A and B are shown apart, each in its own frame.
Chain A
Amino acid sequence: MEIVTENIGSASIVRVSGEVDMSNSPTVRDSLMLLIEAKAPTIVVDLGGVTYMDSSGIATLIEGHQATTSYGGNFRIAALIPNVRQVFELARLTDVFDIYPDVDRAQEGL
């Protein structure tokens, strides 16, 4: 799994690729928490390169979402491939997260 973070305008883009499971979801958490501790106004998690995600990955995103919204920030998810989206659907979370088809659209309206 790889994580690359970059700032585009007011958004912090966290690009994750590979498989996210219990062995590496703490690494995703660490990357998100760095931004959250700095109170990043908008975090966009680009999951377009993620081929698999388990419940530990979902839990990490829930924690990031709750922490970001607690200080008034935006937490957005972008570019889910079908088998990752179905994990969100199994968890009944598609209406909880702000999910966008791609990173460009996740930055609209900022």
Chain B
Amino acid sequence: MAGMNEDDSCKVVLAVDEACSNIIRHSYEGVKDKPIICEGKIENSNLHIMLQDYGKKVDPANIRPRNLSDIRPGGLGVHFIREVMDRVEFEDRGDEGTCLFLEKKVPNSGVHDLWKS
């Protein structure tokens, strides 16, 4: 990924994967063939990623990482997302679904459209 070392690139892939998994698990209640719009760009030394879904609304207050000292299966995905990304914000767009905005600083980067799918 432009301007990002391999370790950070792998972490961003993990964060986006975890975000998509959470959308499938919670917003789409396990149904795997529903749409997730994904857009990404690098602008002003920041990687911006937006994920949009049209599933069940989830209260952002209920989306929080678990206490890591409580070793048990599950609850790590949100921790990974918040650990890797510098900004994590949800926006309820009513009938147009829910958007998750992820942002990470990328020093020495230009402006790139990464993808839209």
List A residues at the B interface (Cβ < 8 Å).
Answer: 21-23, 52, 54-56, 58-60, 62-63, 66, 82-83, 86-87, 90-93, 96
Contacts and interface: CB of A to CB of B under 8 A. Distances in A.
A23 B20 CA distance: 12
Give the interface residue-count category, chain B.
Answer: 20 to 34
A54 B81 CA distance: 11
Contacts of B11: 86, 90
A21 B17 contact: yes
B72 A62 contact: yes
Contacts of A60: 73
Given A21-B17, A86-B7, A96-B71, A59 B76 contact: yes
B8 to A, nearest CB: 10
B71 A55 contact: no
B74 A59 contact: yes
Interface string B2-33: 00001100110110011001001100000010
Contact of A54 (B14, B24, B84): B14
A86 B17 contact: no
Contacts of B79: 90-91
Contact of B7 (A58, A62, A83, A93): A83
A56 B7 contact: no
B10 A55 contact: no
B21 A62 contact: no
Contact of B71 (A23, A62, A82): A62
